[in-house]
Amino acid sequence: MEDFQVCDRDLPDNILSEYLQQEAIAVDTETMGLLPQRDRLCLVQLCDKDRVTVVQIAKGQTDAPNLKKLMEAQSVLKIFHFARFDVAQLRYHLGIHVQPIFCTKIASKLARTYSPRHGLKELVQELEKVELDKSSQSSDWGNAENLSEDQLRYAANDVRYLVSVRQKLIVMLQREERWEIAQECFKCLPTIVALDLLQYKDIFEH
């Protein structure tokens, strides 16, 4: 995969059109921290089988119309690793209600019960035989116009393998008769995200 593009503030129309023709795309975000109410959204990464696109989100930006159109398109499945976090960021900062969703972390927890390790690095290493460099994971994403080559490579790698990983996890889920429950979990994610943003904790516990 050689096609890599960095876009400012939103997807251009031609790239939006290409992504809208896909069955599924991988999505990730980079932020200044873990709390959407405090920490701003800096990057949104997208990937299909042929290209990786990084959208730089400006400080104070509150919408990205083409990105919203893609993220809310019912015809295109959005694949995340730990969708709960990224979907919350997109909703809080850009008013995007992502649907439909596939989460490789949830799928891994349901399918790979032989392992306690469900991070993206471990998942890609096992299923794709690729070792991800996570050295830029905790870095300053706020200066979007001057990101280093290592940061951009890290951002791209966070989505580069998700389309393939999804296919392999589906095979495992179907084999173990857990595919239906996985799909029900994915459907619950928007509600869980809404509860997170309202700062409810453990609402289903006693």
Q: What is the pLDDT of residues 148-168, one digit of tens each?
A: 888 888 899 999 999 999 999
Q: How far is CA 190 from CA 5, 9, 25, 100, in A?
A: 29, 24, 18, 10
20 within domain boundaries: yes
Quick one: what percent of the chain has pLDDT higher than 90? 84
Q: Return the pLDDT at 150.
A: 87
124 within domain boundaries: yes
Q: Is the pLDDT of residue 2 over 70?
A: no
Q: Which long-range contacts (CB under 8 A, 24 or more apart) does 138-144 make?
A: 140/32, 141/30, 141/31, 141/32, 141/42, 141/43, 142/32, 142/40, 142/42, 142/59, 144/42, 144/43, 144/56, 144/57, 144/58
Strands 77-80 and 3-8: unpaired
Kindly report the average pLDDT of the chain as a whole number: 95
Q: Is the pLDDT of residue 133 over 90?
A: no
Beta bridge partners of 51: 3
69-78 in b/e burial notation, b at 16+ Cβ within 10 A?
A: ebbebeebbb
Q: Is the pLDDT of residue 175 over 90?
A: yes
177 within domain boundaries: yes
pTM of the entire structure?
Answer: 0.95
202 within domain boundaries: no
Higher pLDDT pick, 112 / 204: 112
206 within domain boundaries: no
Mean pLDDT of 80-105: 99
* Structural domain total, the chain: 1
Quick one: what percent of the chain has pLDDT higher than 70? 98
Check which CATH number belongs to the domain holding 154 and give it. 3.30.420.10
Cβ(3)–Cβ(52) below 8 Å: yes
> How far apart, in whole angstroms, are the C-alpha atoms of residue 94 and residue 89?
8
Cβ(87)–Cβ(189) below 8 Å: yes
Q: Return the pLDDT at 139.
A: 84
pLDDT band at 1, cuts 50/70/90?
A: very low
> How far apart, in whole angstroms, are the C-alpha atoms of residue 31 and residue 93?
11
Higher pLDDT pick, 93 / 205: 93
pLDDT band at 136, cuts 50/70/90?
A: low
Give the residue numbers spanning the domain of 180: 3-197
149 within domain boundaries: yes
Mean pLDDT of 132-140: 78
204 within domain boundaries: no
Q: Is the pLDDT of residue 172 over 50?
A: yes
Mean pLDDT of 8-13: 98
